[in-house]
Amino acid sequence: MKKTAAIIIAAIGLVALGFAALPLLVSSEAVRATMLERARQITGREMQFTGTPEITFSPFLGIELNNVTFRDAYGEKDAPALLQMPVLRGKLSITAALRGSIEVSEFHFVRPVFNLVVYESGRTSWAFPVGKMWRALSTAKELRAQQAGNEALDINQLDNIRLGSFDVSDGIINYSNEATGAQETVTSLNGTLNWPNIRAGWRFEGSAIWRGDAITGRMTAELPIMLLAGGISKISASLKSEPLNLDFTGEANRLSDLFVSGNVNLSSPSLRRMVTFLGGEVEPGAGFESFAASGTVSGTMSDIQLADSTIGLDGNTYMGNLRFTISETGKNKLSGTLAADRLDLQPYALLLLDGGNRKTLFTVVNQSDADIRVSAKTLSFPSLELKEFAGSLIARENEIKLDVGNAAFGNGILAGSISATGDSEHALLGFSVDGSGLNLVNLPFLKDHSRLLPDGPSTIRARLTSGLSEQGALLETMNGNFTISMASGSIAGLDFSEVLKTLDPKSNDGENVMIAKPLAATPVTQFEINATISDGTAWVQNSRFEVEGYSARLSGKTELSGGSLAMWGGLEVPKGQADNIEGGQFFLGGTLRQPLLVPQLRSPERNRTAIPDSVQKAASSPAAQSQTVIGQ
């Protein structure tokens, strides 16, 4: 027992003696020479510093260098240093020191400033063409060239260069690209890169401030030396911030450009905020909020494809594929195919109608040219719902367009487009609609505006434009052409039988004036309405329908915003009918919500509802024709 205690005491004594002798075993000059030589061997660059290196014993055995600088070998003489820091600390291995050798296992960069430059020649300031690291990269490139197919790489052929742990405290990274003019700055960089040796993997964890937002990140690489040499390595990465969260697991290679493939999860509480964070310009406002995407990603940093993905935006969920291409000289491009079970476009329509938020809509759209094929079982607009929708969403500079290739409404089908061009203050809406089998009675926004509606399967053609001011005026500035025809059906809101009963030549005292009944309906055939719309007024001409043996002609006008009516109708007896049936005329006045019917015997000397020649000429002019096809 006494012998064992003596051995323990002796061992403790030897350890204490060894620590006491460390100042004699480790000299600042020896450590200085080792640090300089190791930096030169690894990087091929000369490390410069000022003052005398200081050996420290707390919190660990190490050395401290002041005003450390690594020059940029390719920059001008007055160019900022590649790396400069007021203090560099190295942690020394105690066991190595006790053996009389010097090994630095950890490096602590205090307030370093990294100046990374891509020159117009293509050279980079951080490339090291000499030194052990460069030779290791050259050997790795040769191994990569010799590798066949999926053959496992024998990294044991690489010199096992010892690296260590690199800790950064309160660092700054300045990046500039002379060819593209791009500049970035990262501040408050704190993190640790563990890379024990050239054959091992690395792991980085840290935090920083980038573009005004605090971010935390993590990245691991299984074979970083092969990745740096242009080969392949499994990697995983995670980035957390207020505007963006990202997780990636997969592979990366640098056979030409940096190419990644794997699984990604991306989310943001605000798509507008995320676009701004990534370098876009979006005005503050409403809309384009919660965003999430997950799927298989592949491509370079300038050409990314997302396949088999699930994408969520503003409550809508899409499935499909997207491709995003970044252009350094022109507009970025977004393309793909997306499918949704239910697609609600009401929030975006409201943004367009709201002058205060319209700028937000256009600045989001202007981030890139887009051409996305879209399908949905149900597509919702304000007061309108379409089924089995198939079409595309197209965006260009200050232009948004939704093409409707095919959609079902009730028992009918329609095709066409809705477009918006302009800016935040003034936007021009374009409507192009071709439909068959449609019943206008089933459109809620029309029922709210008018009690006079054709009720039955109809064929519709519309080419309309409307300007939106800050107040969102839509009907007041509408222009274009509208046609509807119905083989058989009824006119909701009218009881024409009462009109026919009052076709009495002796009745002209006004007793035949009738307010249309909301629940009334008049069966008609061969119904056709043709209207030319100018500045919110619909001028009706060449319009007709047949009712109870009469052929009715209709012409006149209606103010779309207020709904006022001024229509003249002529009743003719079709050829072959009985001679005792008389024709006549009627006047349709009041408003669309409360129309008035007045039977007449003869036309006034001057028909004040006739379409003015100026409107006729404007509607048929080439300029008007080109305007009305906006949105086709």
Average pLDDT per run of 10 along the chain, which is 632 residues long?
47 40 51 70 74 68 83 79 89 57 78 91 76 77 70 74 88 90 92 91 95 95 86 92 95 82 95 86 78 94 92 93 84 92 87 76 83 94 88 90 93 92 79 94 82 91 84 78 95 73 51 60 92 93 88 90 87 62 74 79 46 50 39 30
Instruction: Check residue 29 and give its pLDDT.
Output: 64
Strand partners, 283: none
The answer to the question of residue 515 being in a domain is yes
- Domain span holding position 183: 131-256
Residues 113 and 160 in one domain: no
The answer to the question of residue 598 being in a domain is yes
Nearest to 272 by CA among 332, 313, 212: 313
Residues 315 and 377 in one domain: yes
The answer to the question of residue 363 being in a domain is yes
Return the structure tokens found at 166.
């690199």
Return the structure tokens found at 66.
């002041």
Residues 241 and 338 in one domain: no
Q: Sign of dihedral through CA atoms 27, 29, 35, 37?
A: negative
Residues 103 and 149 in one domain: no
Name residues whose C-beta falls within 8 Å of residue 157's C-beta, 6 or more positions apart in sequence.
Answer: 139, 143
Residues 122 and 149 in one domain: no
The pTM assigned to this predicted structure is 0.78
Residues 380 and 440 in one domain: no
| 191-224: b (≥16 Cβ within 10 Å) or e | bebbbeebebbbbbebebebeeeebebebbbebb
The answer to the question of residue 424 being in a domain is no
122-128 contacts at long range (C-beta below 8 A, 24 or more positions apart):
122/179, 123/74, 125/72, 125/73, 125/74, 125/75, 125/82, 126/82, 128/43, 128/44, 128/45
- Rounded distance, CA 350 to CA 420, Å? 13
Last residue of a domain, one of 98, 126, 154: 126
Residues 296 and 384 in one domain: yes
Instruction: Check residue 608 and give its pLDDT.
Output: 45
Residues 404 and 384 in one domain: yes
The answer to the question of residue 279 being in a domain is no
The answer to the question of residue 38 being in a domain is yes
The answer to the question of residue 361 being in a domain is yes
Number of structural domains in the chain? 4
Residues 137 and 113 in one domain: no
> Residue 603: what residue type?
S
Last residue of a domain, one of 91, 126, 161: 126
Residue with tokens 């007793």, as numbered in its chain: 511
Last residue of a domain, one of 99, 126, 153: 126
Instruction: Check residue 441 and give its pLDDT.
Output: 87
The answer to the question of residue 531 being in a domain is yes
Residues 75 and 93 in one domain: yes
Residues 337 and 380 in one domain: yes
Residues 213 and 94 in one domain: no
Strand partners, 116: 175
